[in-house]
A and B are shown apart, each in its own frame.
Chain A
Amino acid sequence: MKRTLLLYILSWFLLCNVLSSKGLFANGLYTEIEVPDGGCVAGYVKCTGNAGAPSIDLYAGWELPRASQVISEKLTVNKVNNGVKNVIVSISDIEKGKKGVVPQIHPVIDQQRSVFIPRVTAILAGTTVDLLNGDEEMHNVHTTSMRNQPFNFGMAYKQRISKKFDFPETVKLSCDIHKEYAWIVVFGNPYFDVTDRNGYFEICDIPEGTYKFRVWHEELGKREKEVMVRAKKIENIEFVYE
C-alpha cells in the first residue's frame, strides 16, 4: 500500500517536471493569436571569405550538350553584396503569433534541364506542393522523410504530382537518375522566409519580445542569433557565414 502511494507521488512529480520544462513547449505547441502591432525583422545573409566565386556545384544532366547544361544553385553568392541565395530564416523559439495561412495556389517545384527550380522551398505545414517535369525525358522525385510519408515516383514529360506535407520536417527531394536534389522545409508556424538572390529576407507581424532567429543553408550550415523585436518597428539584422 505504502509502496504504491510512493510510486504515485513519484510519477506525479515526474509528470509535473516534464510538463513544466520549456523544451516541450518550444518544440511542439504553437498558439495562434491576433497580432495587431507586430514588429518586423529584415536583413540579409552574407558569406565572406571566398565570396563572389561562382557556384561550386557540378553540372547537371549527363547527356545534354555542354552548351545547354545548367549550373545548379548549391551555393549562390551575389557578387555585388556577398548575399547568399536560398538560405532559410526562421524563428526557432516562437510560441504564439499570427495565424498561418496555407496558400490556395500550390507552390511549384519544376524540373528543368535536370535541375529542380526552385532549389529550396519553405512551406507551412499542411501546404500542398506541385511537382512538375518540364524536360522531355524521364525523371523521378524521391523524398526521404520520417513523419511525412516519403514517396518516389517516376515522372514523364509534363507529369504533375501534388503532395501534401503535414508535419514540420526538412525533406530532401532528389532525382536519382540525374543525381540532382532540392529541399522542402516544412514549418509549424508562419514565421520563416527564404532569401532572394541578393540574400535579403523579411519576416513580419512578430509579437513584441526577444526571439532566437535561425538561418540554415545546405552547404554552410546553421547560425543562430537573438533579436529583440519591438512593436511596429523594423529591426535590421545581418547573418554572416565566414
Chain B
Amino acid sequence: MKPKGLFYKFGFLSAAVFSCAVMSVNMRPTTASAIEIPTEVTEEGKNVYKKYCSPCHGEEGGGDGPLSRSMIPKPRDFTRGAYKFRSTPSGSLPTDEDIFRTISYGVPNSTMIPWDILTEEQRASVIPVLKSFSEAFEYREPDAPVEVGLPLRPTERTILEGKKIYEEKLECWKCHGVEGRGDGPSAAEQEDDFGFPIKPFDFTTGKFKGGNSPTDVYLRFTTGLNGTPMPSFAKELSDEERWYLTHYVMSLVQPEECEE
C-alpha cells in the first residue's frame, strides 16, 4: 500500500507544479514573451535601426541624429544605458521586455511614436543593437523586476490618503506642483543627466509617458526614471501607500482639458 500512496502523493505534487508553471506562463504579459528576442546583433536589426531609429537617435546611438536638433525632449542617448521606463529598480538596466514595450507603445508627449508599423520581429531585432551602444551592458546585469502588489480599488479614501502622501510625505509638489501641472518651485531649473533641460510631468494632460494603466503609474515612482531627476520612492512607501498615490495622481487628470 505504501509505495502506491507515495506515488499518488508525488503524482499530485508534480501535477500541482505543472499547473502552477502553466499558470505563471499564462499570466506573463503577452507583449514580449510571445516572440523571441535575439541575444546577438543581427543584420536585420542593424538595418532596421539605421532606417527607422538613427535619424533621431544617431548612427552611434548618441541621441544626436540629424532630426534631434529640433526636438525637446531629446531622443534617448543609448551610450549611458539609462532607460526611463523600466520594471527594474532605480539605476538598474532595463529588461529586454521593457525596451520592447517602449518601442511598441512609444512615448506620448514626445516624438517617439508607437512603432507598430514594424513587425514584432523587427522591433525585437533592434533591442540587441541598442544594448550594443552602451558599455554598461558589459559591466552590469539588469536587476530582477520589482514586485507589484495586488491592485487596490480606487475609492475616495485611497485618493485622500494619496493626497496626503503627495503633499506631505513625499512632497511631490516641489517639482510637479500642487495641482499636478508640473509647475512646482523646483521645476524651472531641472536638468537630465545629459545636461538638457527637462520638465516635470504635467499630470493633468493624462498622457502618462510610461503607459496609462494604474500599474504603469505605480511602476514609475517605484522604479524612478533613470537619467532624469525623478527618483525612486521604493524605500519610502509601503505597497498600499503606492496604490494610494497612484490613485491620487490619476485623479489629477482633467478630461475636459485633455479633449481640447
- Are B236 and A159 touching (Cβ within 8 A)? yes
- Are A151 and B90 touching (Cβ within 8 A)? yes
Q: How far is the CB of B86 from chain A (nearest CB, A)?
A: 12
In the complex, which residues 134-191 of chain A have their Cβ closer than 8 Å to any Cβ of chain B? 137-138, 140-144, 146-147, 149-156, 159, 161, 167, 176-179
**When A146-B80, A146-B135, A177-B174 are in contact, do A152 and B185 touch as well, CB less than 8 Å?**
no
**When A156-B169, A177-B174, A177-B186 are in contact, do A167 and B139 touch as well, CB less than 8 Å?**
yes
* Minimal Cβ-Cβ distance residue in A for B190: A176
Q: How far is the CB of A149 from chain B (nearest CB, A)?
A: 5
Question: How distant is the Cα of A137 from the Cα of B185 in the complex, in angstroms?
Answer: 14
- The residues of A that contact B224 with a CB separation of less than 8 Å are 152-153
Secondary structure dominating the interface of A: loop
Number of residue pairs spanning A and B whose beta carbons lie under 8 angstroms apart: 74
* Minimal Cβ-Cβ distance residue in A for B143: A149
Question: How distant is the Cα of A161 from the Cα of B236 in the complex, in angstroms?
Answer: 11
Q: How far is the CB of A41 from chain B (nearest CB, A)?
A: 33
* Minimal Cβ-Cβ distance residue in A for B89: A151
- The residues of B that contact A154 with a CB separation of less than 8 Å are 170, 231-233, 235-236
Q: Please, what's the 1-or-0 string for B118-158, where 1 marks a CB less than 8 Å from any CB in chain A?
A: 00000000000000000110011000000000000000000
Give the bracket for the number of chain B residues in contact with chain A: 20 to 34
Give the bracket for the number of chain A residues in contact with chain B: 20 to 34
**When A150-B82, A151-B91, A156-B169 are in contact, do A176 and B229 touch as well, CB less than 8 Å?**
yes
| B250 CB–A CB distance under 8 Å | no
Partner of B232, one of A138, A151, A159: A151
Q: How far is the CB of B15 from chain A (nearest CB, A)?
A: 41
Q: How far is the CB of A138 from chain B (nearest CB, A)?
A: 4
- The residues of A that contact B249 with a CB separation of less than 8 Å are none
- Are B171 and A137 touching (Cβ within 8 A)? yes
In the complex, which residues 169-226 of chain B have their Cβ closer than 8 Å to any Cβ of chain A? 169-171, 174-175, 185-186, 189-190, 193, 224, 226
Q: B interface vs A, CB < 8 Å?
A: 80-82, 90-92, 135-136, 139-140, 169-171, 174-175, 185-186, 189-190, 193, 224, 226, 228-236
Closest 7 CB pairs of A and B: A176-B229, A151-B91, A138-B171, A140-B231, A154-B231, A150-B91, A152-B231
Q: List 11 A-B contacts (CB under 8 A).
A: A143-B91, A146-B80, A147-B139, A147-B140, A152-B229, A153-B90, A153-B232, A153-B233, A153-B234, A154-B170, A177-B229
